[in-house]
Amino acid sequence: MGLIGLLGLAGLTGRRRRDDTLR
């Protein structure tokens, strides 16, 4: 695990939160 793992996790959570806020 490293930067890629952190970026992937942050991207997934960020995208889901953004979708929730947009809807």
pLDDT in tens, 1-23: 688 888 888 888 777 777 777 77
Q: What share of the chain is helix, strand, coil (3-state, %, to 5)?
A: 85, 0, 15
So what's the pLDDT on residue 1? 62
CA 14/CA 8 separation, integer angstroms = 10
So what's the pLDDT on residue 10? 82
So what's the pLDDT on residue 20? 73
Measuring CA to CA, how many Å separate 20 from each of 1, 3, 4, 6, 9?
27, 25, 24, 21, 17
